[in-house]
Structure 1
Amino acid sequence: MAMKDMNIAKLASVDVPLFNGIVQDLFPGIESPVIDYGKLELKGMGLQLIPFTITKVIQLYETKNSRHSTMIVGNTGSGKTVTWRTLQATMSALCRSGDAAYNLEFPLNPKAVSLGELYGEYDLSTGEWTDGILSSVMRAAYEKPDEKWILFDGPVDTLWIESMNSVMDDNKVLTLINGERISMPEQVSLLFEVENLAVASPATVSRCGMVYTDYSDLGWKPYVHSWIEKRPKVLGSVEGMGRGAVQR
């Protein structure tokens, strides 16, 4: 179970049978138990509840339970945003029923701002320190013990991600250029939504749990079905008008 939990979520669909075969060779005649999450019900939000999406939501939930830093990797249109938003909606619904801590997210695009705006910087004219977006969010995370996700929705590169390595490891401490150290609370976790890890260093990748979403597994049919369901229900009225004309 440990081997499957740490590896299957990051594999492409074509590699999963090969991995399962290796596990069967290592543990012959042993069947892995299927975990029943009970009240972990998926809220469709007007979307198609297909097995691929359900599997990825559960894999994200399991990965976040074992790591405080998680990366959802996949091409555009592979369901990355739907995966974490579905899990968020489910956890929020469970909280309202009294079963879990409420979930909040702080989405930001690290490539849309400068490093100073992201982490904080000194004003060269006055010498005053100004907090950045991330440092302000981490300070605000202490206010309530509710579960919180800091979501980085943007490409991962060495310009900004290397400063996060100390936050992603067991220290969970952000060190600013003014020497201040901000520790990340236990109820806060990091979530990265990226297209690929082409320029990410091994030090960064090894600190994160990985969930890979493959567009070939999702396909185009769920988009078409959702689009059809949102169209006006005019087919029945048109058919009724045709039958009336025939009778007349």
Structure 2
Amino acid sequence: MHAAVNFLSAGLNGIIQDLFPGVNTPTIDYELRQSGLQVTPFTLTKVIQLFETKNSRHSSMLVGKTGSGKTVTWRTLQNALITLHRKKEPGFQLVYPLNPKAVSLGELYGENNLSTNEWTDGVLSSLMRSACKPDEKWIVFDGPVDTLWIESMNSVMDDNKVLTLINGERISMPEQVSLLFEVEDLAVASPATVSRCGMVYTDCSALGWKPFVQSWLDKRHKVQHTCS
């Protein structure tokens, strides 16, 4: 089974070399194995799709139910691009994950203190201010999409790439910064929001249960080998 997977992995890496000649990409098999994960054609395909989507759109969405491999997909791509960065290739360095539903709108975007009229930055506005260094960065929104917070992101996701705060301040998103939304579904997202993002869909049925079981068995085998 491993031989077949390695053969498929080599074939996909050959396709990447054809699409991106002269770019030395890290072996994704290594990144997955190091994380205790299984190399499957499904996962490799989703990593490649996310890479291609990210190259064409500065805002992307990973959509799929829990257990479909969304986090594994972007973290594997993150590790691969970090490896490229360490080899002095232009690439990725930092990631800022946040859950937009874990904070209020004021804590996310910033708000004025009604007593003192002083402005306090939110999590997102603070991240965007600190994202002006030349290294590439992602801001990852890991949480449900709803109209309470996502509509304010439309001006950031379109070609303007500007976040407008309620105090009238406008923060431009630099070229090296991109947005990634990890969501289960887009049931309440407006067409305006969806049309601004590249989409990568992960399906639980396509991933299946075997990679989870094999990773568990590998971990058990490693523990038993260490104890012996």
Aligned counterparts of 1:117 and 1:105: Cα–Cα separation in 2: 20
Determine the structure 2 residue equivalent to 1:153: 142
Given that 2:59 and 2:197 are in contact with CA atoms closer than 8 Å, whether structure 1 keeps it comes out as yes
What TM-score results when the alignment is normalised by the length of structure 1?
0.79
Aligned counterparts of 2:93 and 2:38: Cα–Cα separation in 1: 23
Aligned counterparts of 2:143 and 2:224: Cα–Cα separation in 1: 38
Structure 1 residue identity aligned to 2:51: Y
Determine the structure 2 residue equivalent to 1:133: 123
| Match status 1:233 vs 2:208 | no
Aligned-residue CA RMSD in angstroms?
Answer: 1.7
1:8-51: per-residue Cα shift (whole Å, max 9, x none)? xxxxxxxxxxxxxxxxxxxxxxxxx9442552421112210111
Q: Percent identity?
A: 74
Q: How far off its partner does 1:177 sit? A: 0.6
3-state SS of 2:54 partner: helix
Given that 2:25 and 2:80 are in contact with CA atoms closer than 8 Å, whether structure 1 keeps it comes out as no
Aligned counterparts of 1:122 and 1:171: Cα–Cα separation in 2: 25
Determine the structure 1 residue equivalent to 2:190: 201
1:132-151: per-residue Cα shift (whole Å, max 9, x none)? 00000000001x20010000
Aligned counterparts of 2:181 and 2:169: Cα–Cα separation in 1: 24
| Match status 1:41 vs 2:24 | no
What TM-score results when the alignment is normalised by the length of structure 2?
0.86
Structure 2 residue identity aligned to 1:63: T
Determine the structure 1 residue equivalent to 2:3: none
Structure 2 residue identity aligned to 1:233: Q
Aligned counterparts of 2:126 and 2:95: Cα–Cα separation in 1: 14
- Work out which of the residue numbers 99, 108, 112 in structure 2 matches 1:122: 112
Figure out how many residues of one structure are paired with residues of the other and give that number.
Answer: 204
- Work out which of the residue numbers 148, 158, 165 in structure 2 matches 1:169: 158
Q: How far off its partner does 1:94 sit? A: 1.1
Determine the structure 2 residue equivalent to 1:25: none
Determine the structure 2 residue equivalent to 1:96: 86
| Match status 1:81 vs 2:71 | yes
Q: How far off its partner does 1:101 sit? A: 2.5
Aligned counterparts of 2:211 and 2:90: Cα–Cα separation in 1: 30
Aligned structure 1 segments of 4 or more residues deviating by more than 6 angstroms: none
Determine the structure 2 residue equivalent to 1:178: 167
Aligned counterparts of 2:138 and 2:71: Cα–Cα separation in 1: 13
| Match status 1:214 vs 2:203 | yes
Aligned counterparts of 1:152 and 1:88: Cα–Cα separation in 2: 15
Task: List alignment gaps of at least 5 residues for structure 2.
Answer: 1-13
Q: Decide which structure has the larger Cα Rg and report it.
A: 1
Q: How far off its partner does 1:86 sit? A: 0.2
Task: List alignment gaps of at least 5 residues for structure 1.
Answer: 1-32, 238-248
Given that 2:61 and 2:199 are in contact with CA atoms closer than 8 Å, whether structure 1 keeps it comes out as yes
3-state SS of 1:93 partner: helix
1:86-143: per-residue Cα shift (whole Å, max 9, x none)? 000000011111123332111100001000000000111111000000000000001x
Determine the structure 2 residue equivalent to 1:52: 42
Aligned counterparts of 1:78 and 1:211: Cα–Cα separation in 2: 12
